[in-house]
Amino acid sequence: MAVEGLEVPGTGGLKSVLSPDNPTSFAHMILLEKVCGEDHVCVSDLSVKFTSPKVVCSQGFPVEVSVEVANSGEDSSEAELTLVHPSSIPFVRAKRPSGPGQVAVWCVSNTRGLENLTHTVCPLSSSVLRQEARVTVLMSFTVFEETCLRERLALNVFVTT
């Protein structure tokens, strides 16, 4: 990390000066903890619980679903939640309920050609989904083309690491 003086307000552009006796950079080791058992190989045990209300087949109708991912195993690196849904109900946004330990969720949707399906992928944590952790994601969709929906709406949800 480098240390550089900042401009002091009201001094006409003067910068604070570091004593020549002090180093201009420093290094510090940071230890990262990863819970992976005695074999040092992380084996996660991820499960998904999905809840959804009844969907009204009307253009513009909002569809709100809740997805909970639980890790019953060891730490999981780079866990991602994937929803496969008809392109007729496009993904709008994802958010986490407020509370301790909650982080932002950023999702990306890609439509798959002739299949008329969209894959929405959401990383669940910036680095590690800890053992015994639970993550809830509230996802919003909108009915775009009611003619594409039948009596049942199929959403496939899975999590990978």
Residues contacting residue 89 through CB under 8 Å, at least 6 positions apart = 55, 63, 141, 142, 143, 144, 149, 153
Tell me, what's the pLDDT at 42? 82
Burial of 52 (0-12, 13-18, 19+ CB in 10 A): middle
Residues contacting residue 84 through CB under 8 Å, at least 6 positions apart = 117, 118, 119, 120, 155, 156, 157
Coil, strand or helix at 128: strand
Of 78, 135, 144, 137, the closest CA to residue 111 belongs to: 144
How far is residue 60's CA from residue 82's CA, in Å, rounded to a whole number? 23
Q: What tokens appear for 126 in the block?
A: 């910036």
Which domains can be identified in the chain, with CATH numbers?
46-160 (2.60.40.1510)
Burial of 99 (0-12, 13-18, 19+ CB in 10 A): exposed
Q: How much is the pTM? A: 0.68
Tell me, what's the pLDDT at 47? 92
Of 152, 161, 159, 160, the closest CA to residue 52 belongs to: 152
How far is residue 49's CA from residue 94's CA, in Å, rounded to a whole number? 16
Tell me, what's the pLDDT at 102? 53
Q: What percent of the chain has pLDDT over 70?
A: 82
Summarize pLDDT for 69-127 with one digit per residue, the tens: 999 988 888 889 999 988 888 899 888 887 665 555 789 998 776 678 899 999 887 66
Confidence of residue 67 (pLDDT cuts 50, 70, 90): very high
Tell me, what's the pLDDT at 49? 93
Confidence of residue 46 (pLDDT cuts 50, 70, 90): very high
Least confident of 16-20, 39-43, 60-64: 16-20
Tell me, what's the pLDDT at 48? 92
Give φ, ψ of 103 to 5 degrees.
-130, 165
How many Cβ atoms sit within 10 Å of the Cβ of residue 38?
5
Least confident of 55-59, 72-76, 93-97, 130-134: 55-59
